[in-house]
């Protein structure tokens, strides 16, 4: 695959932090990958692999120690309207109405009030919340608040939507609904999505490809192509392709060499417990 196919590209991203003892902790170590136009690409990996740090660098919220992100061939520097960001927490302004929250991003990039209001209302229609335009965030459920956050991120019509575990705070049922809702929005608008998650089922269900990272420091382990046919429904989770791919991703993130010591530790603890109970 040629680099010209990529809308967003990471080249040799390194991120280091200074520790209190004077040492340097490397979180990301030479991470490179590309995302194609209109692709849904997820990033997944064990705790400490730097996946959230990586997407924050892509958004311009953090600076890489070395390496660069490129969007449409141009180096990314700082934040920009061409990259929308959705966080795990809804990050809505509680003192603004739903419509005003969506308008905020538009006005900040130069939209006039009337134009921003019209556009905000259109995006609320797209996410199915136009009837709640005058509500305040506290009056909405968690899933509805996250839909407002998605509308706010999409309203400036970014080239790429960056999502950092956006459904992690939701209950299982709402999370499932939001996954299907996001796929429907993605299908109907011209947007490329880079999505961070720790949930294996979510990654396989949503994605075209999955970037798996290893930890300490974070490095690319494998780029996995998802061969589960679209459109995807609850039944997709039971397809042989889904089950096989999920197992493969799980093995990449938690290799047998890493899980076996944990199993042995559990067995030792279990044996000690049984001996103590027998006394």
Tens-place pLDDT, residues 41-67? 999 999 889 999 999 999 999 999 999
Positive or negative torsion for Cα 19, 21, 22, 23: negative
Give the pLDDT confidence of 196-234 residue by residue, as tens digits.
999 999 999 999 999 999 999 999 999 999 999 999 999
Cβ atoms within 10 Å of 171's Cβ, excluding its own: 12
Asked if residue 114 is part of any domain, the answer here is yes
Q: Indicate the residue among 112, 136, 157 that finishes a domain.
A: 157
Q: Assess whether 28 and 127 both reside in one domain.
A: no
Could you tell me if 45 and 133 lie in one domain?
no
Question: Of all residues in the chain, what percent carry a pLDDT higher than 70?
Answer: 90
> Based on the domain organization, do 108 and 225 belong to the same domain?
no
Instruction: List the domain range (segments joined by +) for residue 114.
Output: 96-157
CA distance 157 to 159: 7
Q: Among the three residues 157, 189, 209, which one is the final residue of a domain in this structure?
A: 157
Task: State whether 43 and 67 are in the same domain.
Answer: yes
Number of other CB atoms surrounding residue 271 within 10 Å: 10
Q: What is the pLDDT of residues 71-98, one digit of tens each?
A: 999 999 999 999 999 998 878 999 999 9
Assess whether 37 and 144 both reside in one domain: no
Q: Is the per-residue pLDDT at 271 higher than 80? A: no
> Which positions ≥6 away from 188 have C-beta within 8 Å?
126
pLDDT on residue 254: 87
Q: Are residues 163 and 149 in the same domain?
A: no
Total count of domains within the chain: 2
Written as six digits, the tokens of 189 are 């608008």
Note whether 51 and 186 are same-domain residues.
yes
Phi/psi at 67 (5° precision): 90, 165
Whether the CB-CB separation of 167 and 179 falls below 8 Å is answered with yes
Does residue 120 lie in a domain region? yes
Q: Could you count the other beta carbons within 10 Å of the beta carbon of residue 126?
A: 18
Q: pLDDT: is 187 or 278 the higher one?
A: 187
Q: pTM for this structure?
A: 0.88
Residue whose entry in the numeric block shows the structure tokens 């997709």: 236
Which of 104-108, 231-235, 253-257 is modeled with the greatest confidence? 231-235
Considering the domain architecture, whether residues 181 and 67 belong to the same structural domain is answered as: yes
């Amino acid at each position: 695959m040629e680099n010209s196919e990529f809308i967003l590209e990471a080249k040799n991203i390194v991120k280091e932090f200074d520790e209190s003892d004077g040492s340097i902790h490397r979180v990301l170590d030479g991470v490179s990958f590309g995302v194609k136009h209109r692709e849904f690409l997820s990033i997944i990996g064990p705790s400490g692999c730097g996946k959230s740090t990586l997407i924050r660098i892509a958004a311009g919220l953090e600076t890489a120690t070395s390496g660069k992100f490129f969007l449409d061939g141009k180096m990314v520097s700082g934040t920009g309207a061409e990259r929308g960001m959705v966080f795990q927490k809804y990050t809505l302004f509680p003192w603004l109405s739903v419509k005003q929250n969506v308008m905020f991003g538009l006005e900040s990039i130069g939209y006039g009030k009337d134009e921003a209001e019209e556009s905000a209302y259109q995006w609320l229609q797209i996410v199915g919340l136009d009837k709640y335009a005058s509500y305040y965030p506290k009056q909405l459920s968690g899933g509805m608040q996250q839909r407002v956050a998605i509308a706010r991120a999409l309203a400036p019509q970014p080239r790429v939507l960056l999502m950092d575990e956006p459904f992690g705070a939701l209950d299982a049922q709402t999370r499932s609904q939001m996954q299907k809702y996001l796929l429907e929005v993605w299908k109907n608008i011209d947007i490329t999505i880079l999505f961070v998650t720790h949930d294996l089922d979510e990654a396989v269900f949503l994605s075209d490809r999955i970037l798996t990272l290893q930890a300490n420091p974070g490095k690319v382990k494998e780029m996995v192509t998802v061969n589960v046919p679209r459109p995807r429904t609850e039944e997709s989770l039971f397809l042989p392709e889904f089950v096989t791919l999920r197992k493969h991703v799980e093995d990449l993130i938690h290799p047998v060499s890493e899980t076996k010591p944990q199993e042995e530790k559990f067995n030792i603890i279990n044996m000690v417990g049984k001996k103590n109970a027998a006394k």
